[in-house]
Amino acid sequence: MSIFVDEDTKVVVQGISPTSQGLFHGLRNRAYGTQVVAGTNPKRGGEEIEGIPVFATVAEAVEATGANASFISVPPKFAADAIVEAAAAGVPFVVCITEGIPAQDEALAYNRLVRQFPGTRLLGPNCPGIISPGKCNIGITSGDIAMEGGPVGIVSRSGTLTYQALHELSQQGVGQTTCVGIGGDPVPGTSFIDCLAAFEADPDTRAIMMIGEIGGSAEEEAAEFIASSVTKPVVSYVAGVTAPPGRKMGHAGAIISGSKGTAQAKMEALSGAGVTVALNPTEAGEAMVDVVRKLD
């Protein structure tokens, strides 16, 4: 099994044109085997681009093709509206890889989804997307570094470290059920906890790799969740142990987070929750290989 997407996922690419990022990535995803069933572009409804039927709106695309996921890579100033359009059209799973969306737009779009369209899960923004090896790939992950068959589920805040984690495991012959890049933006639609809960519920996922980053308190919250609700082994790596201290000014951030946010605090929290904490991505890969060997 996999989480969030599978072989039945049908993707509509929002903002498609012959020169768009959406088309470029959409074609790569289709070449991987993903069902890319539609594109949208308000000026190109009725056209067909590279065999992908184009509709003026997401609602029309859903109506005509039964699309149940959307992929957004439009420029930052259009992205928040695109997310809300997909949710309003009833798309249950929206992947937004766009980087650089203003935080105010992001916070507003997220809360509109929570309030008005609770049936929609947003992944991202500013994330590499999601891949269930052999089944579905939405986003910019290179399919050939992933390996089918499980048993590891990966969730990561960082793009390149997501690839690194996939690569380390595949090199050692350890496959993945699903690899989710949740992105590093201030208001991610899908959190570590959402993914941990989904992996915990997925019978084919037997171990979880979690890759965090300095800043915020998502890793600390994930640690609490792992301690209370995750029975599967978790291996973790948190990037930024030696990162330069943030240059945030003002007191508000410090008042909210207290000592939270440093890599050290995150690693201690995870370790305290029974997670195997590695000091670099390679070590994390090796630790996971050990964990997987002991599963059999």
Partner 1 sequence: MDLFEYQGKQYFARFGIPISKGGVADTVEQAVAQAEASGYPVVVKAQVKVGGRGKAGGVKLANDVEEVRTHAGNILGLDIKGHVVKRLWVEHASDIAREYYASFTLDRSAKKHLGMLSAEGGVEIEQVAVTNPAAIATVHIDPVDGLSLEAARQWVERANLDEEARDQAAELLVKLYSCYTDGDCDLAEINPLILTPEGKVHALDAKVTLDDNATFRHPEWEEFAGSDVEDERETRAKERGLNYIGLDGSVGIIANGAGLAMSTLDVVNQCGGSAANFLDIGGGANADVMAAALEVINSDPAVRSIFVNIFGGITRVDEVANGVLEALDRVDISSPIVLRLDGTNAVAGRAILADHLSDRLVAEPTMIDAARRAVALAGGQS
- When asked if residue 149 is in the footprint of partner 1 (CB under 8 A), the reply is no
- When asked if residue 88 is in the footprint of partner 1 (CB under 8 A), the reply is no
- When asked if residue 22 is in the footprint of partner 1 (CB under 8 A), the reply is no
Nearer to partner 1, 204 or 286 (CB): 286
Amino acid sitting at position 265: A
DSSP category for residue 148? T
Measuring CA to CA, which residue among 203, 200, 263, 260 is closest to residue 236?
263
Measuring CA to CA, which residue among 70, 24, 76, 18 is closest to residue 43?
18
Nearer to partner 1, 252 or 296 (CB): 252
β-pair type (129-132, 175-181): antiparallel
Nearer to partner 1, 253 or 274 (CB): 253
- When asked if residue 81 is in the footprint of partner 1 (CB under 8 A), the reply is no
Measuring CA to CA, which residue among 46, 45, 56, 44 is closest to residue 19?
44
Contact set for partner 1, span 220-279 (CB under 8 A)? 221, 237, 239-244, 247-256, 258, 263, 279
Q: How far is CA 58 from CA 12, 109, 238, 240, 252, in A?
A: 8, 17, 37, 39, 39
- When asked if residue 133 is in the footprint of partner 1 (CB under 8 A), the reply is no
Query: For the sheet containing 129-132, what is the strand order?
Result: 136-139, 129-132, 175-181, 151-156, 207-213, 234-239, 276-278
Contact set for partner 1, span 97-116 (CB under 8 A)? 100-104, 107-108, 110-112, 114-115
Nearer to partner 1, 115 or 294 (CB): 115
Nearer to partner 1, 64 or 103 (CB): 103
Residues 6+ apart with CB under 8 A from 37: 10, 11, 12, 52, 53, 61, 65, 66, 67
Which window, 33-41, 45-53, 81-89, 206-214, contacts partner 1 (CB under 8 A)?
206-214
- When asked if residue 53 is in the footprint of partner 1 (CB under 8 A), the reply is no
Q: Say if residues 204 and 6 touch (Cβ distance below 8 Å).
A: no
Which window, 10-18, 46-54, 58-66, 212-220, contacts partner 1 (CB under 8 A)?
212-220
Among 50, 149, 160, 229, binds partner 1 (CB under 8 A): 160
β-pair type (136-139, 129-132): antiparallel
Catalytic residues: 251
Q: Say if residues 142 and 259 touch (Cβ distance below 8 Å).
A: no
- When asked if residue 172 is in the footprint of partner 1 (CB under 8 A), the reply is no
Nearer to partner 1, 54 or 209 (CB): 209
Report the interface residues with partner 1, using CB under 8 A.
Answer: 76-77, 100-104, 107-108, 110-112, 114-115, 128, 140-142, 144-145, 156-164, 167, 184, 186-187, 211, 213-214, 216-218, 221, 237, 239-244, 247-256, 258, 263, 279-282
